[in-house]
Copies of this chain bind each other. A is one copy, B any other.
Amino acid sequence: MDKPYVLGIDIGGQTAKCGIVNARGEVLAQSIMVSNKHDDAQSFITALAATLQKLISDSDLTDQIRGIGVGAPNGNYYTGEIKEAPNLSWAHEGNVPFSSMLSEAMGGMPVALTNDANAAAVGEMTYGAAKGLKNFIMITLGTGVGSGIVIDGRLVHGSTGAAGELGHAILYQHGRKCSCGREGCLETYTSARGIVQTYCELKGCPVTPDITSKMIGELAHQGDPIALKTWETVGDQLGLAMANAVTFSAPEAIFLMGGPAQVGEPLLRPLRAAFDKYILNIFSGTCQIRMSELRANEVAILGAAALLKMK
């Protein structure tokens, strides 16, 4: 009989979230580990494997795990590599054969890898609000900005396996310096860090670790004018980027997820206004902006798990 459970892992710049997923798409058990303390990929993978083994044995599911699905920045579906992901602490290693390394650390378990936003898109399509949609885009706002693109019901991997990096579409030529080495990427404006930078620029204060996008969200809900102006700016920038994405694939919806998206109306009101303003007339009214309907801490885990099943 088939082993009934799959491990789903969502690797972000700060944490790696791991879960055991059953055939109905329920996350039975979860574990979180920090992901930014490891100088090299091998030590990260060793720690990750220990976390996974503990999760499995704590759940009494030894020998019942079919395989592992992983969503990670710059994760490549075809090659199983993570390539120079600027938000991971071991990016300097270049191309890391992540799938084979993790498989080896886990006693030969099969591993399917894609980028974290692709995993979220698969999760939303398999279990969430995108069920039944054939053309949509998932945009994840977090440490970075990721995207997963679905066209005709299929995740877009492109010729290299690494398609769907709208966070690194250049919004402003000669704009802010990005962690990828270039300038003006969408991510430098609408990631958590980008939002903090905009707030600090508007306020005329230095960027410090105690200023977070979450805090700026709370200030906006209290009516703070600089916080509100920050979200207006971010909404305008994201709305422009989304309107540009619509010219490419004419999706029926663009989903948002991640911490900064949780702020709600202070972001969504200017975002919708900007999207309506910047969208090409032939696409007016054809694409909805929606929020992910899966729990934020589960969507990429579920997607990563679903990805393994597709493989």
Contact = CB atoms under 8 A, between A and B. Distances in A.
Interface string A175-200: 00000111000000000000000000
A192 B172 CA distance: 24
B282 A83 contact: yes
| A interface majority secondary structure | loop
Interface in A58-72: none
Q: How many copies does the complex hold?
A: 2
Nearest to A178: B280
Interface stretch (A48-56, A248-256, A265-273, A292-300): A248-256
Interface stretch (A23-31, A204-212, A222-230, A237-245): A237-245
Contacts of A157: 250
Given A152-B154, A169-B244, A240-B173, A250 B160 contact: yes
A182 B247 contact: no
Contacts of A163: 247-250
B180 A158 contact: no
Interface of A: 74, 83-84, 134-135, 149, 151-152, 154, 156-166, 168-170, 172-173, 180-182, 240, 243-245, 247-252, 278, 280-283, 286-287
Given A149-B249, A170-B240, 15 more contacts: A74-B282, A83-B282, A84-B282, A134-B159, A149-B248, A156-B250, A157-B250, A158-B250, A163-B250, A165-B248, A165-B280, A166-B247, A173-B240, A248-B248, A248-B249
12 contacts: A134-B159, A151-B156, A152-B154, A158-B250, A159-B251, A160-B250, A160-B283, A162-B282, A165-B247, A169-B248, A170-B278, A173-B240
